[in-house]
Amino acid sequence: MWIDQNRYKSVGSVLESVREKAGLTQAQLAVTLKKPQSFVSSYEAGQRRIDVLELIRIADALQADARRIFADILRSAEPVRKSRSPKA
């Protein structure tokens, strides 16, 4: 696998935080997305990948800015990117 599983958990953690700030349960968000609650649970746990279009749809359902969510995801991944930089 070329992407560390922890990266998916990081994405899920950011999305969980945004959902909680919106004051929604997984079940409530799932209804808005017209998906089962297990869909929300699995991506929040890092067990399911989401693509960029799904990210935008989730952001819209949470009335959140997708660009800000994506920036938060990138920030959460910074330690991983920094650790890969070449050493002098």
* Mean per-residue pLDDT over the chain, rounded: 89
For 33-64, write each residue's pLDDT tens digit. Answer: 999 999 999 999 999 999 999 999 999 999 99
pLDDT of amino acid 72: 96
CB atoms within 10 A of CB 77: 16
pLDDT of amino acid 88: 45
Q: In CATH, what class is 5-77?
A: mainly alpha
For range 14-19, the mean pLDDT? 98
Where are the chain's structural domains? 5-77
Report yes or no: 33 and 39 within 8 Å, Cβ to Cβ.
Answer: yes
